[in-house]
Structure 1
Amino acid sequence: MDIGKIRKYLIGLNAGTLTQEEESWIVHFLENATEAELLQIFPEEEWEEQIPVSVSTRELNRAYAKVAPMKVAWWNKPIIKISAAAAVLGIAVSIWSLSNTSFKPFNTIAETQWKTISTKAGENLIVYLPDSSKIYINGGSQLMYPEKFAGPIREVKLLEGEIFLDIAGNAQAPFKVKTGNVNIKVLGTSFNVRNYKVEGLTDIAVKSGKIAVSNSGNPDSVLLTPGRRIVISETTGNSLLTDTDLRAVDGWTQNEFVFNDMMLKDVFRHLEYKYGLTFEIKDTKILNKHIKAVFRDKSRWEIVDLLSKMLNFQYQVKDSLVIIQ
């Protein structure tokens, strides 16, 4: 961690002299910094010389807005002190308290309000974001997104499931998707993200534009362009880059499935999340068979029937349960 660089950026953030890239970097750091990292930037020994400081509501709100949205403001401590060295930085907002009362943010400071939307298997939704971006949500998914975007970064969080995103371009506010250990950054594009816990993989593919993908196991970004796909293991962080059929990227949003040499067990899983079907398999050996097919504008039962003919298996249907002999 380059403390000198961080302090320099904090001064620039306060003065409004940072470039968009620098501002995005420091805001991202402040959002994710640990308590230990913050103490390195503002060590306790620099706080020993206590100087009472009067901070107006207007000044405090302005400082907070510089780093919003943050889960917890980094200056929000039970008793906050300021040293001459910290005062020179012009960033560390501090209060001299004569009691043990903890400092609380003013009511005028608005924190980012997140919404969580969940879908059941077979339930598909479309969410329109405040910036006119559009997200298609597949069944069995859970997505978090803000009521409105604040600050220089637009962000959503895929907790589980599959989404296809059509992002409105805005060079001044990069878009970010977080899912598991993976981060995806984009300016304006359309792409698909799949991360079901049962699969143990994060699968990302681009329809248009370009995105940068990184994960905690390998922070170096991988650039994806249209027709490129990356599959990342949630446990090891290992990744595989491949080409993909553009139709397969968002096919599920348009009732089209492109199965390119896919194992039957994975085909069934796609049908489970899209249509809410469940499968009971008598002979599990059949699940290892591979399928290469495109199904367009077919009902769920038409797809199951075509699969039975392709792989020569018998099946029965009870409501949404498919029993395969």
Structure 2
Amino acid sequence: MDNELIARYLRGTCTEDERRLVEQWLHEADELPPAPPAANGEKDRHWLQLEDRIRQAPAKKRTIHRLVLLIGSAAAMFLLILGLGLFQSTQSPKPLEWVQVDNPPGKQRILTLPDSSVIQLNGGSSIAYPKRFTDTLREIRFLRGEAYFTVHRDTHRPFIVHTAEKEYIQVLGTEFNVRHADDHHPIQITLIHGRIAYRTATQYHHLVPGEQLTSDQEDFSKQQLADTAPVLAWTSGMLWFEETPVQEVFSRLEQHYDVTFSGSENVEQQLITGKFTREPLDRILWVISESTDIAFSRKGKQITIYKK
């Protein structure tokens, strides 16, 4: 290696190509060429530093050292990634913390879920939902009663409503009503906007807006409603019956007024039609009695049904 080129390198006046040439040589050299004498007869301090650098790290050792460092770094990175993977795989996901809401008969309640979806609960209804949803799914449990859902659209996280019968409703973004008074009554789902699917272990039903599905165990029926207003009347405090079976009327009155009917087995099945906006219960009972052969005897919250 030319001394003048080394000198220019030390002074920082060499070209970029020259710099690369000198540094490659330094990596491979075992010793420097004889240093040019300085004015005072001593070696230049930069030259001494280069000599020390080569003497303390010969080319072969330095090459091996760099290789060891490279292999060691790769191995360390591999172990770090493997360790993180094992750590994550062995960590159980944090269980969801659920909130159960039991709304008493005679009252309505509005709930806002963690994703900003809204549920309006009718009287005598129960529902459970997590304090937070996962990154991939939004699940709630509809236990009993009646609820109106306005679901915030999120295509990456389907909205699932599990019913007490281990069936479920799958939603993207929509508005729908679900009614399931108890195990003795069928579940009734009415789609207002959007789209939903109702699934069981053996059945799949897709609903379109205005369609109502009634499910009693494995017996299903669907109908297209001319008007969904009677279904949603309860959300504004109204009772609206359109040729409604009398047993269903009693169930709705129990839900709305927090009362209990007994003796319904004493009367024949009849259909009731009527619209009541915040009417006293006694007024509704009188209207039913006047238009049918059903009579009532009331003691507080207990109402006995009998045939005239």
Normalization by structure 2: what TM-score?
A: 0.65
Hey, what's the Cα distance between the residues in 1 that align with 2:298 and 2:170?
43
Hey, what's the Cα distance between the residues in 1 that align with 2:264 and 2:182?
24
User: What is the RMSD of the two structures over their aligned residues, measured on CA atoms?
Assistant: 2.6
Q: 1:282 to 1:176 in 2, by over 3 A?
A: closer
Q: What does 1:290-305 align with in structure 2 at a 5 Å threshold?
A: 290-305=271-286
Q: 1:60 to 1:142 in 2, by over 3 A?
A: farther
1:242 maps onto 2:223 in alignment: yes
Q: 1:60 to 1:177 in 2, by over 3 A?
A: farther
SS of structure 2 residue aligned to 1:267: helix
Asked which structure has the greater CA Rg, the reply is 2
Q: What does 1:15-94 align with in structure 2 at a 5 Å threshold?
A: 56=83, 58-59=84-85, 93=89
* Counterpart for residue 83 of structure 1: none
What displacement does 1:165 show?
A: 0.8
Which residue of the other structure, out of 241, 244, 247, is the alignment partner of 1:262?
Answer: 244
Normalization by structure 1: what TM-score?
A: 0.62
Hey, what's the Cα distance between the residues in 2 that align with 1:201 and 1:275?
21
**How much identity, in percent, do the aligned residues show?**
27
Hey, what's the Cα distance between the residues in 2 that align with 1:305 and 1:60?
71
What displacement does 1:200 show?
A: 4.2
Q: What does 1:53-202 align with in structure 2 at a 5 Å threshold?
A: 56=83, 58-59=84-85, 93=89, 105=91, 109-179=93-163, 180-202=165-187
Hey, what's the Cα distance between the residues in 2 that align with 1:282 and 1:201?
18
> Letter of the aligned partner of 1:216 in structure 2?
A
* Counterpart for residue 267 of structure 2: 285
Q: 1:147 to 1:161 in 2, by over 3 A?
A: same
Which residue of the other structure, out of 201, 212, 232, is the alignment partner of 1:229?
Answer: 212
> Letter of the aligned partner of 1:271 in structure 2?
L
1:320 maps onto 2:301 in alignment: yes
Which structure 2 residue ranges, 5 or more long, are not aligned?
A: 1-78
* Counterpart for residue 29 of structure 2: none
Which residue of the other structure, out of 258, 264, 280, is the alignment partner of 1:276?
Answer: 258
Hey, what's the Cα distance between the residues in 1 that align with 2:183 and 2:96?
31
Hey, what's the Cα distance between the residues in 2 that align with 1:320 and 1:297?
18
* Counterpart for residue 203 of structure 1: 188
Hey, what's the Cα distance between the residues in 2 that align with 1:215 and 1:254?
31
Q: 1:324 to 1:216 in 2, by over 3 A?
A: same
Hey, what's the Cα distance between the residues in 2 that align with 1:264 and 1:293?
12
Hey, what's the Cα distance between the residues in 2 that align with 1:161 and 1:124?
11
1:215 maps onto 2:200 in alignment: yes
**Contact 1:205 / 1:228 at 8 angstroms: preserved in 2?**
yes
> Letter of the aligned partner of 2:223 in structure 1?
T
Offset from partner CA, 1:119-160 (integer Å, 9 cap, x none): 333343221101111112223332110101112211111122
Hey, what's the Cα distance between the residues in 1 that align with 2:300 and 2:243?
29
What displacement does 1:263 show?
A: 1.4
Q: 1:300 to 1:133 in 2, by over 3 A?
A: farther
> Letter of the aligned partner of 2:213 in structure 1?
I
**Contact 2:181 / 2:251 at 8 angstroms: preserved in 1?**
no
**Contact 2:195 / 2:207 at 8 angstroms: preserved in 1?**
yes
> Letter of the aligned partner of 1:173 in structure 2?
R
Q: Number of residues paired by the alignment?
A: 226
Hey, what's the Cα distance between the residues in 1 that align with 2:120 and 2:216?
23
Q: 1:282 to 1:139 in 2, by over 3 A?
A: closer
SS of structure 1 residue aligned to 2:275: strand
Hey, what's the Cα distance between the residues in 2 that align with 1:313 and 1:202?
27
Hey, what's the Cα distance between the residues in 1 that align with 2:228 and 2:185?
23
What displacement does 1:321 show?
A: 2.1
